[in-house]
Every structure is written in structure tokens, then in C-alpha cells.
Amino acid sequence: MKLRQLSFSDRVIVELDKAITTVVGQPETTQRQVPGSELIEDSALTSVEQRQSAGLMRVNHSGEVSAQALYQGQALTAKLPEVRQAMEQAALEENDHLVWCEDRLKSLSSHRSVLNPFWYISSFAIGAVAGKIGDKWSLGFVAETEKQVVKHLDEHLEKISSHDVKSRAVLEQMRDDELHHRTTALNAGGAELPTPVKILMAITSKVMTKTSYWI
């Protein structure tokens, strides 16, 4: 039996469901094992180290909420089916990161950012606009986003305590995945973004990281 192709309105409903599960529920994942789950328990963290780890993991969790929204927004408006499929697959892998970060936050007796609904709506809108402009720019936006995410992850790996081996394992796997997403986007025809756009993206990212660390 031939499956009915989803209409645009159908896809909007699907995306709304994904938004709800991303922000407040349990999103669909690839079922990969949580990095570091096979490791022994962390060495005892000091209160300062625990707060630092929690703040950084909260930033990364919010970043994954934004990444999820960005990919879903682009998938909604992408013109080529293969680009839409690539966005959806990347979104699924970003959900792994989302669940890993939340799992680690719970282990650190901390919480998600209360600003996550705002980050989701903003990023979804940006992704939808990028996808509407054209697939090469949409893919270029993904490539630049992942480049900046990798930079943040490198900074976090330098800041986080060496005693927090489980958080480090999560961040290292996330970094590998983000590099792969960037390469995939470039190989699929992603265009180099204009410098002013890159600067604006960096400023926006800095605002998110500064606020999500505390709130």
C-alpha cells in the first residue's frame, strides 16, 4: 500500500509535536549509548567544580535545543528531498546530545534552562527562513553553526574539571558529531556565509551561552 505524502500543514503539526517533546518531553533519538556510561563514577567533585560542570552542561543542553529547532525549521522549508532528509537525520542525532546533556544535568543535581522555549522558537524561525532562501544557504548556515558549536565545545573541554570524566566523555562525542554534521553540510553544497552574518551568529551565540549558564 502506498503511503500518503505529508502535506505542508501535516508537516507543521509534526514539527509542533517535535517542539513540545524537545522542550519539555522525551524526544526521539538514535538510541546510542550515553558516552561515558561505561566509566567508573567520577571522582568527588567540589561544590565549585559541580557548579561549573552544571553551568556548562546547561549551556550545551540549550545549544542542542537550538540546534534541534534549527534543523527542524530547515527541514520544513528545504526544497530538495535529500537536503530535507539530511536535516532530519542531523536533528535526530542532535536529540542524542539533548538527552545526554539532560541526563548529565540530573546527575549533577541541576536543571535545564528556563529560557529553552525562547531558544527553540527563535532558532526554528531562523532555520525556516534559511531553508526558504535556498538549500545552499541553509546548508551553509548549518556548517557555520556547527563550526561555532565546535569552538564552544573546545572551550568547555578546557574549562571543565578533569575529575568530571563523564561530562567530558559526553562533550567529546558531541564534538565529533558536530564536526561530522559540518562536513556533511559542506559536502552537500553549503555556501560560505557573508562575514556580517557570521559575526551576528557569534554575538547571538554568546548571548545564549552567557544567559543559559545561570538561568
CATH number of the domain that 90 lies in? 1.20.1260.10
pTM: 0.80
Residue 31 lies in a domain: no
Q: Which residues are annotated as a binding site?
A: 64, 94, 97, 146, 178, 181
Residue 68 lies in a domain: yes
Own/partner pairs for 105-108, CB < 8 Å, 24+ apart? 105/54, 105/57, 105/58, 105/61, 107/166, 108/50, 108/53, 108/54, 108/57, 108/167
**How do the pLDDT tens digits run along the chain, 215 residues long?**
344 566 667 766 766 666 666 666 676 777 788 787 776 565 678 889 999 999 999 999 988 888 778 777 777 776 666 666 766 677 777 788 888 998 889 888 998 888 888 888 888 888 788 777 777 887 888 888 888 889 889 999 999 988 898 899 999 999 998 888 888 888 878 888 888 878 887 888 888 888 888 88
**Rounded Cα distance, 155 and 84, in Å:** 31
Q: What is the pLDDT of residue 171?
A: 93
Domain range for 120? 46-214
CA angle 155, 98, 117 (to 5 degrees): 100
Residue 65 lies in a domain: yes
Residue 41 lies in a domain: no
Residue 21 lies in a domain: no
Residue 36 lies in a domain: no
Question: Of 146, 118, 142, 130, whose CA–CA distance to 76 is shortest?
Answer: 130
Residue 69 lies in a domain: yes
Grid cell in block for residue 113: 534552562
Q: What is the pLDDT of residue 1?
A: 38
Domain count, the chain: 1
Q: What is the pLDDT of residue 2?
A: 43
Residue 27 lies in a domain: no
Q: What is the pLDDT of residue 11?
A: 67
Q: Which residues are annotated as a binding site for Fe cation?
A: 64, 94, 97, 146, 178, 181
